Structure 1
């Protein structure tokens, strides 16, 4: 239930903008990837792995501080924790633009990841705190789209700044400053505790364990990112094995597919109204068709169409978050969303190792077979969601579905 204070806000638009703006930067750690070769030139005494860690260290820090964020929230409250995270990320983000000390650059990247990790889970949980029903579903779809578009825009802006110098590319993180002001403006009148005390205690006594829908939802996110990352890690090898012409179009195809996925996510609320509990089953079924299409593609055009279909599966992410926000004690939203985000990141990180292990286990090491293994994992995910769709006791029903 929303607090009376938050319900009395006349205009919800500033609040929506403030919360959604946080998602613009949460996936921007890799925006400066194009600067790595230039950094290597200036730090020729460092190994390639050391320079590449500039890109990987933030991810490690993000994972750690996603888990620690609940402690900060208890100590500081959500608003102060978000502001602290943004300020830390701002300092860590732009610091490499002003130093040639390699150790300090690495520290700055850890700092940047720590800042992002502090408010990462709240990009979703704050939506659950302040919005319900159709509003909540629509915002979860928009949040997913904003996150993807934010990463694309940051990468593009960093590339423009790279024409000045590799240090200038880190100035892209100055975007955090207006995000901080947007959040402070939109979140200024919101009660930190959206759940009434009397209800919290009642809910807490009834829900001591995670509902099955939430537990399985988190598991599917882990499996989902193991499968989806194969598209990124194996596509280049796949088109070589298929001997497709115009292979240089791959990076553009992946970028367009990501933007297409963002646009589809904007309609998430409407799609769930239509498909209801079967939303993830339908989109994953389409994704499986997409996986097999790209393994059989005779041309890059067909391959590109297959990619677009595969990326429809990204609707699984806001769907699982909507289940979490609907079926968990609101006081536990942030912790459970944090666990879900850790599952996403661990799935993405472990994907090449898991897929390689399975492919070697069955003696199928080609890129074509690895993509088909990923399709098999998607089939398992579809079966889990099919079970949840028919098990009404584990899947929350919104008012729109009644």
Structure 2
């Protein structure tokens, strides 16, 4: 007989919410070691610059493999053990370079780190969508983005301190993965491994059973459609990370350090958008994605014609804020279209589409540069902005046709 748990006491507990959100604390942890690349180029003088830079991108390949494995892990181990397995794999892969500072051990460990990230990343979403509904679900999806940005900030700060002791010592920052490991062990009951609030019974006393659904995970074209949207907007959003520094330098607005300084504020936009997402989504409702795609599109196009640093900073922050709203909004939309008992599979599909969008974005903008004979950074940013507006129009048509979407 399945164990009976109290809905009001457990699902409403702050401890469970902290535990669930902790899975997202280090989703952007890989960014923490970006500052070690110049030092590694010097340390590995016999290795090409391209191969050194590959150490920052190889985790993406690992993430894609880990994402595929996430469903397998979840089916055999359950959610809690799968998340812990992913975090432990990422922890081990993350810290190996601190003890084995040679190229190939680092290469393998970075791939292993990505595999671990890929295993627990989809579960950071499905835990929220399977345990909560309505305003609470949307609030936590927004907080998930805020927590991820906060974790990114802390990791970068700690890495900045560690790198003064040696580039390989910087990798000790990944011991921070112990934080979510401990919180999940303490705060997230295993009874929720197979629980889906959309497919569970609730009696008059607020009691629910941790039912194991007989419905096998599946997908549909609507999930794939959300994945394609995620892929395209991720690809377009990369116009700023890829081209903004070049725009600043080539237009003699400032230096590369100016762009880095501006980017350092992006995390604040991510935190604020995550915290405010629930309130904003209540205001714009089904138009949320449409409105903020327009916001990003207009901001990008304006950036390409702006030469004032304070205004550029404001526009980049507006873009980051818009992305911080669109991301959880599309995730909430994914909940609407995902089949019962399939959120982990659906999220895995989305993560793969996002990874593909990130990987192909440089080639996408290079293609447009070749088609129009214009390889300037400003042109690439304009292309990104214009296509965001196109995506907004397509989204407006979609929400008019599909009345089932709640956001």
Q: TM-score scaled by structure 2? A: 0.90
String of CA shifts for 1:235-275, please: whole Å, max 9, x gaps. 12222343324663211111213321321221111111111
**What does 1:339-350 align with in structure 2 at a 5 Å threshold?**
339-350=349-360
- Equivalent position of 1:303 in the other structure: 312
- Partner residue of 1:234 out of 232, 239, 243: 243
User: C-alpha displacement at 1:376, in angstroms?
Assistant: 1.8
- Partner residue of 2:226 out of 213, 217, 220: 217
String of CA shifts for 1:158-214, please: whole Å, max 9, x gaps. 11100011121011001111210101111125422114589997977xx976263x3
- Equivalent position of 1:384 in the other structure: 394
Judged with a 3 Å threshold, the aligned counterparts in structure 2 of structure 1 residues 226 and 279 are, in CA distance, closer, same or farther, namely: same
Q: Secondary structure at the match of 1:331?
A: coil
- Counterpart contact for 1:18–1:186, Cα < 8 Å: yes
Q: C-alpha distance in 1, partners of 2:377/2:367? A: 13
Q: TM-score scaled by structure 1? A: 0.91
Judged with a 3 Å threshold, the aligned counterparts in structure 2 of structure 1 residues 126 and 298 are, in CA distance, closer, same or farther, namely: same
- Equivalent position of 2:370 in the other structure: 360
User: C-alpha displacement at 1:70, in angstroms?
Assistant: 0.7
- 1:327 partnered with 2:331: no
- Counterpart contact for 1:295–1:368, Cα < 8 Å: yes
- Equivalent position of 1:400 in the other structure: none
- Equivalent position of 2:205 in the other structure: none
String of CA shifts for 1:24-76, please: whole Å, max 9, x gaps. 22211131111122223332222222322222221210111112211111111
- 1:373 partnered with 2:388: no
Q: C-alpha distance in 2, partners of 1:337/1:288? A: 26
Q: Which stretch has the larger CA shift, 183-192 or 378-387?
A: 183-192
User: C-alpha displacement at 1:142, in angstroms?
Assistant: 0.7
- 1:102 partnered with 2:103: yes
- Partner residue of 2:293 out of 281, 284, 301: 284
Q: C-alpha distance in 2, partners of 1:45/1:180? A: 38
**What does 1:23-42 align with in structure 2 at a 5 Å threshold?**
23-42=24-43
- 1:243 partnered with 2:244: no
Figure out how many residues of one structure are paired with residues of the other and give that number: 392
User: C-alpha displacement at 1:304, in angstroms?
Assistant: 1.3
Gap regions ≥5 residues in structure 2:
202-210
- Counterpart contact for 1:85–1:117, Cα < 8 Å: yes
- 1:274 partnered with 2:274: no
Q: Secondary structure at the match of 2:244?
A: helix
Judged with a 3 Å threshold, the aligned counterparts in structure 2 of structure 1 residues 394 and 355 are, in CA distance, closer, same or farther, namely: farther
Judged with a 3 Å threshold, the aligned counterparts in structure 2 of structure 1 residues 200 and 381 are, in CA distance, closer, same or farther, namely: farther
User: C-alpha displacement at 1:339, in angstroms?
Assistant: 1.0
Judged with a 3 Å threshold, the aligned counterparts in structure 2 of structure 1 residues 38 and 331 are, in CA distance, closer, same or farther, namely: same
Q: Secondary structure at the match of 2:341?
A: helix
Judged with a 3 Å threshold, the aligned counterparts in structure 2 of structure 1 residues 103 and 246 are, in CA distance, closer, same or farther, namely: closer
Q: C-alpha distance in 2, partners of 1:312/1:90? A: 30
- Partner residue of 2:274 out of 253, 265, 270: 265
Judged with a 3 Å threshold, the aligned counterparts in structure 2 of structure 1 residues 14 and 256 are, in CA distance, closer, same or farther, namely: same
- Equivalent position of 1:90 in the other structure: 91
- Equivalent position of 2:7 in the other structure: 7
Q: Secondary structure at the match of 1:244?
A: coil
- Counterpart contact for 2:128–2:140, Cα < 8 Å: yes
Q: Secondary structure at the match of 1:313?
A: helix
- Equivalent position of 2:208 in the other structure: none
- Counterpart contact for 1:388–1:395, Cα < 8 Å: no
User: C-alpha displacement at 1:365, in angstroms?
Assistant: 2.1
